[in-house]
């Protein structure tokens, strides 16, 4: 077992920009929801202020529409005693304006990558981050 430290802000930003997969935790109460948290992995883009992603309609979108306060997590592990993680609090915001959607998709798919064809019911959204914290462990 190693020693756990607070991840500096610059390292928080680096991990948010370079992680391949993030996880959204969302939860809603009422309307048939049991209040159980739901965690789902996703590919995403990050611009320094917000996380951007897109999805088909489903449980994640339904929960975030009902309760827009969410948590976003990324991590990277090299061994059981060498890892780093970031937890960010945020607010879900669905992007319906064509310009905002296109900007979000360019964050998710920066040039020279091409934006894949998306169906008309694809939801493009951002998680506006309101707080970020991180930890890391190194061998003691």
Task: Select 16-133's CATH number: 2.40.160.60, 3.40.1190.20, 3.30.465.10, 2.30.110.10.
Answer: 2.30.110.10
Verify cis geometry, omega within 30 degrees of 0, for the bond prior to 91: no
pLDDT at site 33 = 64
Q: Tell me, what DSSP letter sits at residue 97?
A: S
Q: Tell me, what DSSP letter sits at residue 107?
A: H
Given the structure tokens 């005693």, which residue do they identify? 81
Q: Along the 140 residues of the chain, how does pLDDT read in single tens digits?
A: 789 999 999 999 999 999 999 999 999 876 666 778 999 999 999 999 999 999 999 999 999 999 999 999 999 999 999 999 999 999 999 999 999 999 999 999 999 999 999 988 999 999 999 999 999 999 98
């Amino acid at each position: 077992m190693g020693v756990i430290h607070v991840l500096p802000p610059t390292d928080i930003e680096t991990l948010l920009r370079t992680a391949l997969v993030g996880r959204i935790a969302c939860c809603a109460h009422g309307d048939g929801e049991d209040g159980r948290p739901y965690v789902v992995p996703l590919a995403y883009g990050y611009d320094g202020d917000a996380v951007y992603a897109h999805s088909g309609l489903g449980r994640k979108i339904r929960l975030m529409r009902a309760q827009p306060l969410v948590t976003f997590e990324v991590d990277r592990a090299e061994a059981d005693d060498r890892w780093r993680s970031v937890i960010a609090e945020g607010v879900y915001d669905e992007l319906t304006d064509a310009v905002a959607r296109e900007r979000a998709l360019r964050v998710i798919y920066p040039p020279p990558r091409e934006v894949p064809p998306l169906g008309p019911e694809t939801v493009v959204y951002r998680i506006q981050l309101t707080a970020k914290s991180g930890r890391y462990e190194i061998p003691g």
